[in-house]
Structure 1
Amino acid sequence: MTKKPNRSNIIFTALITGICLLTDSMFYIALPLYFKEAGLSSLIEAGVLLSVNRFIRIPLNPFAALLVKTLKLQHALLLAILLTFLTNIGFFSLNGFLCWFILRCIWGFAWALLRLSGQLLVVQLSSESNKGKFMGIYNGTYRLGSLAGMIFGGLLCYQIGMKLTCLVFAAACLLSVPLVFLLTPALLRPREEKSEKIEKVDFSKRTIRLSLLRGLIAAFLLQGVFASTVSYYLTRHYGMHVSIADGFILASGAASGLLLGLRWTWEPFLAPFIGHVSDGVLGRHPLLFIALLMTGCLFPLINCQLPFFIWASIIVLLLICSTIITTLTDVLVSDAASAMKQKTAIITKYSMAADLGAALGPLSAFLVIEKGTTFLYFCSGLSLFLAWVSNKEYRKSEGDREYMRKEEQTA
C-alpha cells in the first residue's frame, strides 16, 4: 500500500466516525442545560447519562474487539452507523431517564466499534516514521464531527429544541453510508490472522502500564470533567445569555458550543503537526509534559469569576492542551501496540482505561460541582502528577539511550 491510499482510507474512516459523533458531542453542551426536555429531573441524572455510554464500553470493549477482528471493516462500520441512527431516533421519540439510559448504552457500543476500527487501522497502515502523523490525521478528522455537533448542536438546540436536533443528526448519519464503500477493499479486514496465537497484555511492561494510566487520567480530565462542565460554568458565571460585545448577545448553550467547537477547527491541522513533530528528534514526552503542566495550572480557573474574554481565553488554552495531550497519549499507546504480535489486546485495554476515565469524569463532576473549586484543584493535581510521570519517563528513556551510545562507543 502506498502512503496516499493509506491516508485516504484513514480519512474516510475518520469522517464516518465524526458524523456518528454529532449527537454525542451535542449532549455535552445541551444536556446540562436542557435536561428537563429529555424528561430528566436533575443535573445528577444528566451526569449519569453523559457517563454511562463510557461505563458500558468497559465490559463491552472485548466483545467489540472480537467483532472488529472477525467482521470486515466495512461491516463493522455499517453496524456502528445503524446503531447510531437508531439511538438518535430513540432520543427524539422517547422520554425519561431509563429510556435514555438504555439508548446511551447502545451508543456506547457503537462508539466502541468506531474507535477500535479506526485505531487498529492506523496501527496497521502506519510505520515508525509516520505513526504520529497518521494518528493526528485520524483524530483531527473525526473530531470535525465534534465541531459540528457542538457548534450547530448548540445553535439548533436553542432554536428548535434538543429532541428535534437529535432527529436532524439521525438524518445526517445516513450521509456516512456512502463513505463506507469508498474504503479500499484490501483494507476491509484490519485484524490479525486467525493463525496467530492470541497474546494477552503483559502488564509487567512499564510502557503498557504507563499507557493505560495516561489514557485513564487524560480521559477523566479532558473528555470527562472539562468537556461536560464548560457549559455549566459558563451559565453559572454569565447567565443563560452571554454578552459577547456591545449589542451582541448569545445563548449560553450556543456560546459554550462555539468555545468547545474551536478545538475541532484547529484539530485537523494541529493534531497531525503535533504527531509529526513527535515523530522527530524531540520525541513525545517533552511536548506532553508542557501541555500537562499548563493544564494543571489552568484547571482551577474554570470556576473563577473573570471578564468573559479572559475566561474564554483560558478555555481556549485548555482546548489546545487537550489536542496535544490526546494526540500524544494515543500515539504513545500505538508505539506500545506496535511492539506486540497482536495489537488488538493493548488497544482494547487502552480504550477500556480511557472509557473508565471519561465515564468517571462527568459523574464525579456533577456530584460535587455545586460545592466549590476543591474538585478542580484535585483535577489540577492529577494533571501535574501525569506531567511528573511523563518527565520521569522521558529522563529514563534519555538515560537508556545515552547508555546505549556509550556501549556502542566502547565496543
Structure 2
Amino acid sequence: MPAVKPSVDAASRRSAIVLALCLPSDVLLYLLLPMHVQAFGISLAQAGVLLAANRLVRIFGYSYVVRYYARHGDRPTVMLAAATATVCALGNAVISGFWWLLILRLGWGLAYAALNLSTQVLATSEPAGAAHRSGRSRAYIAIGPMLALPVGALISIQFGPRPVFIVLALAALLGCWVARGLPGLAHVMPTASGRRFKAPDSVAIWSFVEGVALDGLFIFGLSLQAQAVMGTNAVLVAGVLLALRYVSEMLLSPLGGRLADHVGAVNMLVVCSVLTCIALTAFGSHWLILGAASVLILRAVQLPLVTTLVAQRNPGPGRVQALAANAVWRDIGAGLGPLLAGVLLPVASATWVFAGAGLAVALSAIVCGLRK
C-alpha cells in the first residue's frame, strides 16, 4: 500500500524541524572553536579555515546537491544529510587535528546545502501560503540554535568544549528519524543554464563585504572578544549574544521589510550600514555587549533589504539568476571572513580590524545607493 503523501504544511514543518535539530552542531562550533583551539589540536588560523570551509564547499558543490535532491526527493536526501550531520557532530566530540576536522566541515557544508534546499523547496511547493510557510519555517529553524547556544555554553563551562557535541550528535540523530516522514517523490528541476561567472554589481559587492564583516569576521571574533573582555564568563556571554542573532531574525526582519516599503530599501541599507559601522567599532573597542547586540539587531533588519534591491534592479526573468549570483557572493565573503579573522586578530588591534570592517560595509552601501 503506497504511503500517504503528507500535506505541504506538514512536510515544510517537518523539514524545518530536521534542520533545527542538525544546525546547532555547526553554530556551537563557531562559539567554541576559536576559544578552545588547543582542545581541538589546531591553531587559530586553522580554526578560521575550518569555519570557512563549510561555506566554500557549498559554492562549488551546490549543483551536485541539487541534482541528487531532484533525483531522489526529500526523504532520502534529508535522511542522508541528517546522518552526515550526526557523524560530523560526533567527530567534533572525539576527533582532533586540522585535516580530519576539515573533512567533517566539508561534509557538513554539503549536508547543510541539502537540508536548507529541502526547507525552501517544500515551503514554496504551492504558491498559496508560500510566504507564510517560509516565515514559519525560518522560525522553526531558529529555535534549535537559539536554545542550543546558551545551553551548550553552560555545558562547555562544566565539562569542556568537546562533550557537548555528543549531545548535539544525538539531536541530529533524532533528525534522521524525523526525516522518515518526509515525502520521497523526485522533483522536476529545470536544466542548468550554464551561466557564466559575472563580475558583481554594487549590491553584490555590498553582500560580499557584509559577508566578510558580519558573517565572517564578527561571528569568528565574537568568541575572542568575549574571552578578552569577559574572562571566565566569555563562553556564556558569547552564547547568549549568538542566540540573540536568531531571536532578532525572527522578530526584526519583517520590521525591516515593512520600513523599506515606506522609506526605500536603498535608503534603509545605507542608514543601517552606517550604524553597523559604528556598532562594529564599539564592539572592537571593548563595548562588547552593546556593540555586538547592535550589530546583530541591525543585521536582522538588513536581511530583507538586499533581496528587495536585487529584485528591483533586475526585473523580469533575470531576477532569479541575479538573486542566486548575489547569494554566491555573500557566501564567498562569509567564507573569506573567518580566514581573515584567523590571520588578523592574533596580530592586529581588534579595534582597527572591526572599525575597518565597519567602514567597508558603510562605504559599499553608499556606493550601492549612488548607483541606483
Q: Is the pair's TM-score, using the shorter chain for normalization, greater than 0.5?
A: yes
* Aligned-residue offset at 1:209: 3.9
The within-5 A match list for 1:262-341 is 262-275=244-257, 278=260, 280=261, 282=263, 284-306=265-287, 311-330=288-307, 339-340=316-317
Q: Which residue of 1 aligns with 2:329?
A: 353
Deviations 1:246-267 (A, max 9, x none): xxxxx21111101221222243
Conservation of the 8 A alpha-carbon contact between 2:281 and 2:291: no
**Equivalent residue letter for 1:313:** L
2:88 pairs with 1:75: no
CA distance in 2, matches of 1:305, 1:281: 35
How many residue pairs are counted as aligned between the two chains? 364
* Aligned-residue offset at 1:220: 1.6
CA distance in 2, matches of 1:7, 1:238: 44
- Which stretches in structure 1 are left out of the alignment for 5+ residues? 242-250, 397-411
CA gap of 1:149–1:263, structure 2 versus 1, over 3 A, is same
The within-5 A match list for 1:231-270 is 231-239=223-231, 241=232, 251-270=233-252
- Which entry has the higher C-alpha Rg, 1 or 2? 1
Conservation of the 8 A alpha-carbon contact between 1:223 and 1:361: yes
Deviations 1:64-106 (A, max 9, x none): 2222333312322222111101111222232211111111111
Q: Which residue of 1 aligns with 2:4?
A: none
Compute the RMSD of aligned alpha carbons. 3.2
CA distance in 2, matches of 1:67, 1:286: 41
CA distance in 1, matches of 2:314, 2:79: 26
TM-score (norm 2): 0.84
Q: Which residue of 2 aligns with 1:54?
A: 55
CA distance in 2, matches of 1:73, 1:337: 31
The within-5 A match list for 1:96-245 is 96-122=97-123, 124-125=125-126, 131=131, 136-181=135-180, 183=182, 185=183, 191-192=188-189, 196=190, 198-201=192-195, 209-210=201-202, 212-239=204-231, 241=232
- Which stretches in structure 2 are left out of the alignment for 5+ residues? 1-6
Deviations 1:207-232 (A, max 9, x none): x8455434322222221111111110
Conservation of the 8 A alpha-carbon contact between 1:44 and 1:363: yes
Q: Which residue of 2 aligns with 1:31?
A: 33
Conservation of the 8 A alpha-carbon contact between 2:75 and 2:181: no
CA distance in 2, matches of 1:26, 1:14: 19
CA distance in 2, matches of 1:84, 1:334: 34
**Equivalent residue letter for 1:57:** R
TM-score (norm 1): 0.77
* Aligned-residue offset at 1:30: 0.7
**Equivalent residue letter for 1:199:** S
**Equivalent residue letter for 1:386:** S
Conservation of the 8 A alpha-carbon contact between 1:61 and 1:348: no
2:21 pairs with 1:19: yes
SS at match of 2:162: helix
CA gap of 1:135–1:381, structure 2 versus 1, over 3 A, is farther
CA gap of 1:10–1:290, structure 2 versus 1, over 3 A, is farther
* Aligned sequence identity (%): 23
SS at match of 2:96: coil
Q: Which residue of 1 aligns with 2:353?
A: 375
**Equivalent residue letter for 2:359:** G
2:366 pairs with 1:384: no
* Aligned-residue offset at 1:390: 4.2
CA distance in 2, matches of 1:388, 1:98: 41
**Equivalent residue letter for 1:363:** L
Conservation of the 8 A alpha-carbon contact between 1:135 and 1:327: no
